[in-house]
Amino acid sequence: MQCPNTHADAIRCNQLLDIAESLVDTQGVVSFRFSQISKGAGCSTNTLYKYFESKEDVLVCLFLRNTTSSQIPLFLKENPSITINDKSLLAIIFTFEIVKRSPIFNILRLVSINSMFWQLASPEKISILKSRVNLFWSRIKQPLEDAVELGELKATDTDISDLSQAIYFFLAGATSSYQSRLMEEEYFVADDTTWFRHVSRIMNRYQWRKPITQEQMQDLSLRVKGFLERTEGKIGTCDTCLAIGKLSHCKGKARS
């Protein structure tokens, strides 16, 4: 199914996704039915099929319109003087804050990236999903490469790849455990202080000119929280998703 190609179409598509998100919130990812979306919107199933081929398409789109990749560029535009050290932390801080603010987003993330799920979506949605996942990786890796170029970080290409993966794997594990609520506090403590302590240890295994501190992350977290509060209801939309489009995760575009 084709994504909306006009602003009016984007508005309509976004309305359908708002209803779908409400269904996920009240019934869960598994229980809600595709047909309930058109019923809730008061439209025909033909209208629904204009934008989505299946329930899988809907869930992929719900994830796509709320990704951190959509929000980081807007934050950078508001904060042009941010240091490269802070840029290297943005993907981490945004992930923590969005997951805390929107448990549904983390559920959608876990479902959408599961190969047993995304392979059932339409080819166009799969293409965009793959591009967006790679774009998120670039949001982690690119600032690290830039830090090396600027002399703020001494690291080899292998070091950068290893650090990027360590950050990604930590985020995946921490946010999944946070969402599950299954583990007792003696095994898993889900608070900023603990998370920031782990991140600083991961980052400072490598040679930064100025070490990454927990205080730095706390300050950046406050700025990200303020940004999310100001933009609530404005960013998680089809228009925002369309603005990114099918961006490549290549070096040049990742900086945008």
C-alpha radius of gyration, the chain, whole number: 19
Surface-to-core class of residue 220, CB atoms within 10 Å of its CB (0-12 exposed, 13-18 middle, 19+ buried): buried
Set out the domains of the chain in order of their start, with CATH numbers. Answer: 7-58 (1.10.10.60), 60-254 (no CATH)
Whose tokens are 């549904």? That residue is: 104
What angle is formed at CA 256 by the lines to CA 114 and CA 248, rounded to 5 degrees?
45
CA distance 79 to 69: 16
Pairing of strands 207-208, 153-154: antiparallel
What is the per-residue burial (b if ≥16 Cβ within 10 Å, else e) of 53-65? Answer: bebbbbbbbbbbb
Over its length of 256 residues, how does the chain's per-residue pLDDT go in tens digits?
678 878 888 888 989 999 998 998 898 888 889 999 999 999 988 989 999 999 999 999 988 887 887 789 889 999 999 999 999 999 999 998 888 887 777 788 878 878 888 898 999 999 888 988 899 999 999 999 999 999 999 999 999 999 999 999 999 888 877 666 666 776 666 678 889 999 999 999 999 999 999 999 999 999 999 999 888 756 667 777 777 754 433 344 444 3
Q: Could you tell me the two tokens for 153? A: 């970080």
